[in-house]
Amino acid sequence: MNEPFGESTQQPDPEIVKKKQLWRNLFLLNLCVSLLLISIFWLPSKLEQVGDFLNSPSVNIPEEGKMAEKPVKKVEPEPAKPTNLLATQVTTVNASSEKEYVYFDFSSGKPVNILDTSSLEWDLAFRRGKVISNGGASSKLGKAGLIDLGVVEFDEVTEVPMDNYTQDMAAKTETENPVLAKWYNYNYFTHKLTAKKNSYAVRTANGKFAKFQFISFYCDNKEAGCVKIRYVYQDNGSNSFLRKGGAFTTASTASSPPENTGTTNSF
């Protein structure tokens, strides 16, 4: 039978069909790769900005016909601080090794070489973000323990408790001190650690007292594992961080205690 005039039964060229399919697949692949890159690099920063915006103080929108008034911040007087505080020391412990602990002694203010972990020559040990103490499951002889004092102004901690310190406990694979199990906040978008503002009381390995606070976790070259802390150590056995004598004064007139900065490396 003759085909109707003007109609064609010509089949499409298989090579052309393959090329179209190939270009379609390449387009879809490029689209998927672009979306993946956006989700990895661009989306986390935007979500972090959105989080900061949502956590920021809300903006008061004036009613119709009224002008917005600038909120007046009430200035609260700062609490009185003692002038006879013991000097605060600042140090950085390079604990970037993922295998070896760096042992720190509050009395000397620096890391020490340890041959026997049951000795009293160290108080805390650092390994990346993990921190243990010289007491309990980590040491047979050490008396070290910790108390989380919460979010409190560091200089307002003029004395620490005498008892009820938490010592290290045995975990599934190694020992840990639950007080310092999460001394940081972890950002799942940027994968960065940020030190909490908590202050901690320490009973040292030989039964003396100190207080300390984490400052940061990163080295100057942005490498993780350089744990920076500020601390005050009382070497006379007292649980007070005040010198004898002195008086209270307002923070605006008090002279700040000198800070000694020392950077130490892992062994």
The answer to whether residue 69 is domain-embedded is no
Number of structural domains the chain divides into: 2
Q: Domain for residue 106, yes or no?
A: yes
pLDDT tens, position by position, 133-191:
999 999 989 999 999 999 999 999 999 999 999 999 998 889 999 999 999 999 988 88
Domain extent for 40: 14-52
Contact 188/43 with Cβ under 8 angstroms? no
Structure tokens at 85: 């505080």
Look at 19-23, 87-91, 226-230, 247-251 and tell me which has the smallest mean pLDDT: 247-251
Type of residue found at 43: L
Residue 33 sits in the same domain as residue 134 = no
Is residue 252 pLDDT above 70, yes or no? no
One domain, residues 35 and 164: no
Q: What is the pLDDT of residue 185?
A: 94
* Per-residue pLDDT at 74: 72
- Residues contacting 244, CB < 8 A, separation 6+: 84
Alpha helices (H) along the chain:
14-37, 43-55
Does residue 261 surpass a pLDDT of 70? no
Residue 148 lies in a domain: yes
What secondary structure letter does DSSP report for 131? E
DSSP-derived pairing of the beta strands 130-133 and 260-264: unpaired
Q: Looking at the domain assignment, is residue 151 inside a domain?
A: yes
Mean pLDDT, rounded, for 212-219 = 96
* Whether residue 112 is found in the same domain as residue 40: no
Query: Cα separation of 49 and 30, whole Å?
Result: 27
Positions of E strands within 88-176: 89-94, 102-105, 110-112, 124-127, 130-133, 145-151, 169-170, 175-176
> Does the residue 169 lie in any domain?
yes
Would you say residue 97 has pLDDT above 70?
yes
Position 250 pLDDT exceeds 50? no
In this structure, are 44 and 175 located in the same domain?
A: no
Please report which confidence band the pLDDT of residue 238 belongs to, taking 50, 70 and 90 as the band edges.
very high
- Among candidates 161, 160, 200, which has minimal Cα distance to 179? 200
Contacts for 121-126: CB closer than 8 Å, 24+ residues apart: 121/205, 122/205, 123/202, 123/204, 123/205, 123/210, 124/202, 125/101, 126/93, 126/95, 126/101, 126/102, 126/227
Q: Are residues 193 and 129 in the same domain?
A: yes
